[in-house]
Amino acid sequence: MTGWTWPNGYQVSEFVRPFNEDGRTFIHHAADAVLAAAAAGEYAVIRPRTFREREGRPKPETKRVPVPATVAHFVMNLPASAIDFLPCFKGLYAGRETLFAPHTATPLPLVHVHCFAVKRDDDVPKLDVCARVSRQLGVDMAPGDPERDNEVAVSFVREVAPKKSMYCATFRLPPQVAFAAR
Residue-wise pLDDT for 74-107, tens only, equals 999 999 999 999 999 999 999 999 999 999 999 9
Residue ranges of the chain whose pLDDT lies below 70: 1-15, 49-56
pLDDT tens for 165-181 read 999 999 999 999 999 99
d(CA 156, CA 135): 20
Full strand arrangement of the beta sheet holding 142-143: 73-76, 110-118, 164-172, 151-161, 142-143
- Res 24: pLDDT: 87
Where exactly are the structural domains of the chain? 1-69, 71-182
pTM across the whole model: 0.85
Name the nearest CA neighbour of 92 among 179, 164, 4. Answer: 179
**What integer pLDDT is reported at residue 5 of this predicted model?**
45
